[in-house]
Structure 1
Amino acid sequence: MPDEPGETPRLDVPAGMFEDIEDLKAQLAALTAEVQALTEGGEPGEAPDDAAAAGGESDDGTDEDEWQYPPFILLLDPPQYDDEMRALIEWVECVLVPGYLAEPSADARWCPEWFEHPVAIARLHALWLAWQELTDPASCGYTGPSVWHRDHLDPALRELRSSHGPFAGCTKNEHQIDHRLPGIVPSAWRGAGP
Protein backbone atom coordinates (compact mmCIF):
# COMPACT_ATOMS: atom_id res chain seq x y z
CA MET A 1 0.00 0.00 0.00
CA PRO A 2 1.51 3.39 -0.94
CA ASP A 3 2.43 5.87 1.74
CA GLU A 4 -0.26 8.36 2.58
CA PRO A 5 0.50 12.09 2.37
CA GLY A 6 2.07 13.44 5.58
CA GLU A 7 3.13 9.98 6.73
CA THR A 8 6.85 9.38 7.33
CA PRO A 9 8.12 6.75 4.90
CA ARG A 10 9.71 3.65 6.41
CA LEU A 11 13.38 3.37 5.56
CA ASP A 12 15.43 0.23 6.03
CA VAL A 13 18.91 1.60 6.64
CA PRO A 14 21.90 -0.52 7.65
CA ALA A 15 22.94 0.21 11.24
CA GLY A 16 26.51 1.20 10.34
CA MET A 17 25.31 3.91 7.99
CA PHE A 18 24.28 6.17 10.85
CA GLU A 19 27.85 6.17 12.23
CA ASP A 20 29.14 6.96 8.73
CA ILE A 21 26.73 9.88 8.43
CA GLU A 22 27.79 11.24 11.83
CA ASP A 23 31.47 10.94 10.81
CA LEU A 24 30.73 12.85 7.60
CA LYS A 25 28.88 15.56 9.55
CA ALA A 26 31.86 15.98 11.89
CA GLN A 27 34.30 16.14 8.96
CA LEU A 28 32.11 18.68 7.17
CA ALA A 29 31.90 20.86 10.29
CA ALA A 30 35.70 20.74 10.71
CA LEU A 31 36.29 21.63 7.06
CA THR A 32 33.76 24.44 7.23
CA ALA A 33 35.52 25.90 10.29
CA GLU A 34 38.89 25.60 8.56
CA VAL A 35 37.63 27.34 5.42
CA GLN A 36 36.08 30.09 7.54
CA ALA A 37 39.35 30.57 9.45
CA LEU A 38 41.32 30.75 6.21
CA THR A 39 38.95 33.24 4.58
CA GLU A 40 39.07 35.44 7.68
CA GLY A 41 42.87 35.48 7.58
CA GLY A 42 43.39 33.10 10.51
CA GLU A 43 45.25 29.83 10.69
CA PRO A 44 43.50 26.44 10.33
CA GLY A 45 42.42 25.16 13.73
CA GLU A 46 42.74 28.64 15.23
CA ALA A 47 39.76 29.86 17.19
CA PRO A 48 38.17 32.91 15.57
CA ASP A 49 38.75 36.07 17.58
CA ASP A 50 35.79 38.15 16.49
CA ALA A 51 33.45 39.53 19.16
CA ALA A 52 30.67 36.99 18.57
CA ALA A 53 33.00 34.01 18.90
CA ALA A 54 34.72 35.45 21.94
CA GLY A 55 31.35 35.99 23.60
CA GLY A 56 30.31 32.41 22.86
CA GLU A 57 27.27 33.44 20.81
CA SER A 58 26.44 32.05 17.41
CA ASP A 59 24.83 34.02 14.57
CA ASP A 60 21.37 33.10 15.78
CA GLY A 61 22.05 34.55 19.26
CA THR A 62 22.25 31.25 21.15
CA ASP A 63 25.08 30.59 23.57
CA GLU A 64 27.62 27.97 22.57
CA ASP A 65 30.53 26.55 24.51
CA GLU A 66 33.70 28.44 23.69
CA TRP A 67 36.20 26.33 21.78
CA GLN A 68 38.87 24.93 24.06
CA TYR A 69 42.09 23.42 22.86
CA PRO A 70 43.33 20.32 24.67
CA PRO A 71 45.94 21.19 27.28
CA PHE A 72 49.61 20.80 26.39
CA ILE A 73 50.79 19.22 29.58
CA LEU A 74 54.25 20.81 29.69
CA LEU A 75 52.68 24.29 29.70
CA LEU A 76 50.36 23.62 32.64
CA ASP A 77 51.08 24.91 36.12
CA PRO A 78 50.20 23.17 39.38
CA PRO A 79 47.61 22.05 40.34
CA GLN A 80 46.39 21.46 36.75
CA TYR A 81 49.70 19.82 35.82
CA ASP A 82 49.53 17.48 38.82
CA ASP A 83 45.92 16.50 38.05
CA GLU A 84 46.73 15.86 34.40
CA MET A 85 49.85 13.84 35.35
CA ARG A 86 47.90 11.67 37.81
CA ALA A 87 45.40 10.79 35.09
CA LEU A 88 48.17 10.22 32.51
CA ILE A 89 50.14 7.99 34.89
CA GLU A 90 47.05 5.90 35.56
CA TRP A 91 46.42 5.45 31.83
CA VAL A 92 50.05 4.65 30.97
CA GLU A 93 50.49 2.18 33.85
CA CYS A 94 47.04 0.52 33.57
CA VAL A 95 46.40 0.54 29.80
CA LEU A 96 49.50 1.26 27.76
CA VAL A 97 52.21 -0.67 29.62
CA PRO A 98 50.32 -3.94 30.14
CA GLY A 99 48.62 -3.86 26.75
CA TYR A 100 51.30 -2.62 24.38
CA LEU A 101 54.78 -2.65 25.86
CA ALA A 102 56.59 -5.96 25.79
CA GLU A 103 59.94 -6.60 27.46
CA PRO A 104 62.29 -3.67 26.72
CA SER A 105 65.33 -4.34 24.57
CA ALA A 106 68.07 -2.37 22.83
CA ASP A 107 65.74 -2.04 19.82
CA ALA A 108 62.59 -1.27 21.82
CA ARG A 109 63.49 0.76 24.90
CA TRP A 110 61.18 1.68 27.74
CA CYS A 111 61.99 3.44 30.97
CA PRO A 112 59.90 2.59 34.04
CA GLU A 113 60.68 6.12 35.20
CA TRP A 114 59.22 7.60 32.01
CA PHE A 115 57.62 10.39 34.06
CA GLU A 116 61.08 11.91 34.53
CA HIS A 117 61.50 12.43 30.78
CA PRO A 118 59.67 15.58 29.58
CA VAL A 119 59.69 14.45 25.94
CA ALA A 120 58.10 11.16 26.95
CA ILE A 121 55.50 12.99 29.05
CA ALA A 122 54.59 15.23 26.11
CA ARG A 123 54.32 12.36 23.62
CA LEU A 124 52.42 10.06 25.98
CA HIS A 125 50.02 12.85 26.91
CA ALA A 126 49.28 13.53 23.23
CA LEU A 127 48.79 9.79 22.70
CA TRP A 128 46.39 9.66 25.64
CA LEU A 129 44.36 12.64 24.38
CA ALA A 130 44.00 10.91 21.00
CA TRP A 131 43.00 7.67 22.73
CA GLN A 132 40.27 9.47 24.69
CA GLU A 133 38.78 10.86 21.49
CA LEU A 134 39.24 7.88 19.21
CA THR A 135 37.93 5.17 21.53
CA ASP A 136 34.55 6.87 21.91
CA PRO A 137 32.17 5.54 19.23
CA ALA A 138 29.89 8.55 19.76
CA SER A 139 32.55 10.94 18.47
CA CYS A 140 34.44 8.85 15.91
CA GLY A 141 32.39 5.82 14.95
CA TYR A 142 33.71 2.31 15.16
CA THR A 143 36.90 2.89 13.20
CA GLY A 144 38.42 5.17 15.85
CA PRO A 145 40.53 2.50 17.58
CA SER A 146 42.02 1.45 14.25
CA VAL A 147 42.87 5.07 13.44
CA TRP A 148 44.38 5.50 16.91
CA HIS A 149 46.64 2.47 16.43
CA ARG A 150 47.75 3.48 12.93
CA ASP A 151 48.06 7.26 13.27
CA HIS A 152 48.97 7.71 16.94
CA LEU A 153 50.16 4.63 18.84
CA ASP A 154 52.54 3.14 16.28
CA PRO A 155 54.39 6.40 15.46
CA ALA A 156 54.55 7.43 19.14
CA LEU A 157 56.01 4.10 20.23
CA ARG A 158 58.51 4.15 17.36
CA GLU A 159 59.77 7.54 18.53
CA LEU A 160 59.70 6.79 22.26
CA ARG A 161 61.34 3.37 22.00
CA SER A 162 63.91 4.12 19.31
CA SER A 163 67.64 4.18 19.99
CA HIS A 164 67.60 7.99 19.63
CA GLY A 165 64.40 8.57 21.65
CA PRO A 166 64.03 9.96 25.17
CA PHE A 167 65.01 6.61 26.74
CA ALA A 168 68.26 6.32 24.75
CA GLY A 169 70.37 6.64 27.91
CA CYS A 170 68.27 4.23 29.95
CA THR A 171 69.18 0.57 30.12
CA LYS A 172 67.66 -2.32 31.99
CA ASN A 173 69.88 -1.74 35.02
CA GLU A 174 70.47 2.01 34.81
CA HIS A 175 68.27 5.07 34.47
CA GLN A 176 69.80 8.11 32.78
CA ILE A 177 68.22 11.40 33.88
CA ASP A 178 71.01 13.85 33.08
CA HIS A 179 68.79 15.46 30.46
CA ARG A 180 65.82 15.90 32.82
CA LEU A 181 64.67 19.46 33.32
CA PRO A 182 64.60 20.44 37.01
CA GLY A 183 61.21 20.91 38.61
CA ILE A 184 59.27 18.87 36.03
CA VAL A 185 58.69 15.77 38.19
CA PRO A 186 55.04 15.93 39.26
CA SER A 187 54.14 16.10 42.92
CA ALA A 188 52.03 13.00 42.34
CA TRP A 189 55.28 11.01 42.45
CA ARG A 190 56.57 12.77 45.56
CA GLY A 191 53.90 11.14 47.70
CA ALA A 192 51.07 13.64 47.33
CA GLY A 193 47.79 11.85 46.79
CA PRO A 194 44.34 12.96 45.75
Structure 2
Amino acid sequence: MAGDPDEPPELDVPVGMFEDIEDLKAQVAKLATQLNALAAADSPEPDEASALDDDTAGGGDDGEGDEDAWQFPPFILLLDPPLYDDELRALIEWVEGVLVPGYLAEPSADARWCHMWFEHPVAVARLHACWLAWQELTDPATCGYTGPSVWHRDHLDPCIRELRSPSGPFTGCTKGEHQIGHRLPGIVPSAWNRWDG
Protein backbone atom coordinates (compact mmCIF):
# COMPACT_ATOMS: atom_id res chain seq x y z
CA MET A 1 0.00 0.00 0.00
CA ALA A 2 1.25 3.43 -0.85
CA GLY A 3 -0.42 5.01 2.17
CA ASP A 4 0.90 2.51 4.75
CA PRO A 5 2.66 4.57 7.48
CA ASP A 6 4.93 1.63 8.44
CA GLU A 7 6.35 1.30 4.94
CA PRO A 8 9.27 3.66 4.11
CA PRO A 9 8.65 5.88 1.10
CA GLU A 10 10.61 5.23 -2.09
CA LEU A 11 12.91 8.15 -2.90
CA ASP A 12 14.90 8.91 -6.02
CA VAL A 13 18.27 9.82 -4.43
CA PRO A 14 21.45 10.46 -6.46
CA VAL A 15 24.20 7.89 -5.80
CA GLY A 16 26.74 10.49 -4.63
CA MET A 17 24.40 11.59 -1.89
CA PHE A 18 24.87 8.26 -0.10
CA GLU A 19 28.59 8.99 0.30
CA ASP A 20 27.75 12.43 1.66
CA ILE A 21 25.32 10.88 4.12
CA GLU A 22 27.95 8.35 5.23
CA ASP A 23 30.44 11.20 5.77
CA LEU A 24 27.85 13.06 7.84
CA LYS A 25 27.12 9.91 9.86
CA ALA A 26 30.85 9.55 10.61
CA GLN A 27 31.06 13.18 11.71
CA VAL A 28 27.97 12.83 13.92
CA ALA A 29 29.42 9.65 15.45
CA LYS A 30 32.68 11.48 16.19
CA LEU A 31 30.83 14.40 17.77
CA ALA A 32 28.67 12.01 19.82
CA THR A 33 31.80 10.27 21.10
CA GLN A 34 33.35 13.60 22.06
CA LEU A 35 30.12 14.70 23.73
CA ASN A 36 29.91 11.47 25.72
CA ALA A 37 33.53 11.86 26.80
CA LEU A 38 32.87 15.41 27.96
CA ALA A 39 29.69 14.35 29.77
CA ALA A 40 31.54 11.51 31.50
CA ALA A 41 34.19 13.90 32.83
CA ASP A 42 33.65 15.54 36.18
CA SER A 43 30.81 17.97 35.66
CA PRO A 44 31.67 21.47 36.90
CA GLU A 45 29.63 23.47 39.38
CA PRO A 46 26.92 25.68 37.77
CA ASP A 47 29.07 28.82 38.06
CA GLU A 48 32.02 26.98 36.50
CA ALA A 49 29.80 25.69 33.69
CA SER A 50 28.77 29.22 32.74
CA ALA A 51 32.42 30.29 32.85
CA LEU A 52 33.29 27.38 30.54
CA ASP A 53 30.50 28.46 28.18
CA ASP A 54 31.94 32.00 28.14
CA ASP A 55 35.41 30.63 27.36
CA THR A 56 34.03 28.49 24.54
CA ALA A 57 32.22 31.49 23.10
CA GLY A 58 35.45 33.48 23.14
CA GLY A 59 34.82 35.26 26.44
CA GLY A 60 37.92 33.93 28.21
CA ASP A 61 41.46 34.17 26.97
CA ASP A 62 43.55 33.66 30.06
CA GLY A 63 44.60 30.20 28.83
CA GLU A 64 44.18 28.54 32.23
CA GLY A 65 43.02 24.95 31.94
CA ASP A 66 43.99 24.71 28.26
CA GLU A 67 46.70 22.18 29.09
CA ASP A 68 44.18 19.82 30.67
CA ALA A 69 41.84 20.10 27.68
CA TRP A 70 44.59 19.55 25.08
CA GLN A 71 44.01 16.16 23.47
CA PHE A 72 45.84 16.27 20.16
CA PRO A 73 49.61 16.22 19.68
CA PRO A 74 51.06 19.70 19.28
CA PHE A 75 53.19 20.72 16.34
CA ILE A 76 56.62 19.11 16.65
CA LEU A 77 58.63 22.35 16.59
CA LEU A 78 56.79 23.48 19.73
CA LEU A 79 57.95 20.47 21.74
CA ASP A 80 60.90 20.34 24.11
CA PRO A 81 62.95 17.23 24.82
CA PRO A 82 62.20 14.43 25.56
CA LEU A 83 58.76 14.95 23.95
CA TYR A 84 60.42 16.23 20.76
CA ASP A 85 62.62 13.12 20.55
CA ASP A 86 59.66 10.78 21.05
CA GLU A 87 57.58 12.58 18.42
CA LEU A 88 60.51 12.61 15.98
CA ARG A 89 61.03 8.85 16.42
CA ALA A 90 57.35 8.24 15.65
CA LEU A 91 57.55 10.58 12.63
CA ILE A 92 60.65 8.78 11.32
CA GLU A 93 58.85 5.47 11.64
CA TRP A 94 55.91 6.79 9.59
CA VAL A 95 58.04 8.53 6.93
CA GLU A 96 60.39 5.56 6.46
CA GLY A 97 57.65 2.92 6.76
CA VAL A 98 54.79 4.52 4.82
CA LEU A 99 55.79 7.64 2.93
CA VAL A 100 59.17 6.69 1.43
CA PRO A 101 58.24 3.23 0.10
CA GLY A 102 54.74 4.20 -0.96
CA TYR A 103 55.07 7.69 -2.40
CA LEU A 104 58.65 8.70 -3.14
CA ALA A 105 60.13 7.61 -6.43
CA GLU A 106 63.84 7.57 -7.11
CA PRO A 107 65.38 10.97 -6.30
CA SER A 108 66.59 13.09 -9.19
CA ALA A 109 67.86 16.61 -9.77
CA ASP A 110 64.25 17.78 -10.18
CA ALA A 111 62.85 15.68 -7.33
CA ARG A 112 65.34 15.63 -4.50
CA TRP A 113 65.14 13.61 -1.29
CA CYS A 114 67.66 13.45 1.52
CA HIS A 115 68.09 10.21 3.45
CA MET A 116 68.95 12.42 6.45
CA TRP A 117 65.71 14.43 6.09
CA PHE A 118 65.28 14.52 9.88
CA GLU A 119 68.28 16.85 10.10
CA HIS A 120 66.45 19.45 8.03
CA PRO A 121 64.09 21.42 10.35
CA VAL A 122 61.91 22.55 7.42
CA ALA A 123 61.47 18.94 6.31
CA VAL A 124 60.66 17.83 9.86
CA ALA A 125 58.07 20.60 10.20
CA ARG A 126 56.38 19.89 6.86
CA LEU A 127 56.41 16.11 7.23
CA HIS A 128 55.07 16.31 10.78
CA ALA A 129 52.17 18.49 9.64
CA CYS A 130 51.48 16.02 6.81
CA TRP A 131 51.60 13.13 9.29
CA LEU A 132 49.17 14.80 11.69
CA ALA A 133 46.74 15.29 8.80
CA TRP A 134 47.24 11.65 7.74
CA GLN A 135 46.37 10.44 11.23
CA GLU A 136 43.09 12.33 11.13
CA LEU A 137 42.13 11.86 7.50
CA THR A 138 42.77 8.12 7.19
CA ASP A 139 40.48 7.20 10.08
CA PRO A 140 36.95 6.55 8.74
CA ALA A 141 35.50 7.36 12.17
CA THR A 142 36.71 10.95 11.87
CA CYS A 143 36.63 11.62 8.14
CA GLY A 144 34.25 9.31 6.33
CA TYR A 145 35.18 8.01 2.91
CA THR A 146 36.65 11.17 1.43
CA GLY A 147 39.42 11.70 3.99
CA PRO A 148 42.23 9.92 2.11
CA SER A 149 41.44 11.87 -1.05
CA VAL A 150 41.50 15.14 0.88
CA TRP A 151 44.79 14.14 2.51
CA HIS A 152 46.43 13.44 -0.86
CA ARG A 153 45.14 16.64 -2.48
CA ASP A 154 45.49 19.12 0.39
CA HIS A 155 48.41 17.75 2.40
CA LEU A 156 50.66 15.15 0.75
CA ASP A 157 50.96 16.63 -2.73
CA PRO A 158 51.83 20.20 -1.61
CA CYS A 159 54.20 18.89 1.08
CA ILE A 160 56.16 16.65 -1.27
CA ARG A 161 56.15 19.29 -4.00
CA GLU A 162 57.75 21.82 -1.61
CA LEU A 163 60.26 19.39 -0.11
CA ARG A 164 61.44 17.97 -3.44
CA SER A 165 61.53 21.20 -5.39
CA PRO A 166 64.90 22.47 -6.66
CA SER A 167 64.69 25.31 -4.11
CA GLY A 168 63.50 23.07 -1.23
CA PRO A 169 65.42 22.07 1.89
CA PHE A 170 67.26 19.25 0.09
CA THR A 171 68.83 21.55 -2.52
CA GLY A 172 72.41 20.72 -1.53
CA CYS A 173 71.78 17.00 -1.06
CA THR A 174 72.39 14.45 -3.77
CA LYS A 175 71.56 10.76 -4.00
CA GLY A 176 73.18 9.04 -1.06
CA GLU A 177 75.05 12.17 0.02
CA HIS A 178 73.79 14.49 2.71
CA GLN A 179 75.13 18.05 2.54
CA ILE A 180 75.20 19.99 5.79
CA GLY A 181 76.65 23.21 4.41
CA HIS A 182 73.20 24.58 3.57
CA ARG A 183 71.76 24.03 7.04
CA LEU A 184 71.23 26.85 9.48
CA PRO A 185 74.20 27.43 11.80
CA GLY A 186 73.92 26.18 15.37
CA ILE A 187 71.97 23.01 14.60
CA VAL A 188 73.57 19.91 16.06
CA PRO A 189 74.37 17.29 13.38
CA SER A 190 72.17 14.59 14.92
CA ALA A 191 68.43 14.97 15.40
CA TRP A 192 68.53 12.33 18.14
CA ASN A 193 70.59 14.48 20.48
CA ARG A 194 70.03 17.91 19.00
CA TRP A 195 69.20 19.35 22.43
CA ASP A 196 72.29 17.99 24.20
CA GLY A 197 74.86 20.55 25.17
Q: TM-score by structure 2 length?
A: 0.67
Give 1:84 shift.
Answer: 0.3
Deviations 1:41-61 (A, max 9, x none): x9xxx994628x9558xxxxx
CA contact (8 A) 2:23 2:145 kept: no
CA contact (8 A) 1:47 1:67 kept: no
Distance 1:11 1:20, change over 3 A: farther
Q: Which of 149, 153, 157 matches 1:150?
A: 153
| Secondary structure, counterpart of 2:144 in structure 1 | helix
Match of residue 98 from structure 1 = 101
The whole-number CA distance in structure 2 between the counterparts of 1:137 and 1:106 is: 37
Q: In angstroms, what is the RMSD of aligned CA positions?
A: 3.7
Matches within 5 A, 1:75-86: 75-86=78-89
Matched, 1:186 2:191: yes
Amino acid of the structure 2 residue aligned with 1:88: L
Q: Which of 112, 117, 123 matches 1:114?
A: 117
> Structure 2: any 5+ residue segments left out of the alignment?
30-53
Aligned residues between the structures: 161
Which one is further off, 179-188 or 11-20? 11-20
Matched, 1:131 2:144: no
Matched, 1:50 2:60: yes
Match of residue 3 from structure 1 = 5
CA contact (8 A) 1:109 1:163 kept: yes
Matches within 5 A, 1:55-66: 66=69
Identical aligned pairs, as a percentage? 65
Amino acid of the structure 2 residue aligned with 1:85: L
Give 1:172 shift.
Answer: 1.6
Greater RCO (Cα-Cα under 8 Å, separation 6 or more): 2
Matched, 1:89 2:92: yes
The whole-number CA distance in structure 1 between the counterparts of 2:57 and 2:187 is: 33
| Secondary structure, counterpart of 1:163 in structure 2 | coil
> Structure 1: any 5+ residue segments left out of the alignment?
27-39, 57-64, 190-194
Give 1:74 shift.
Answer: 1.5
Match of residue 36 from structure 1 = none
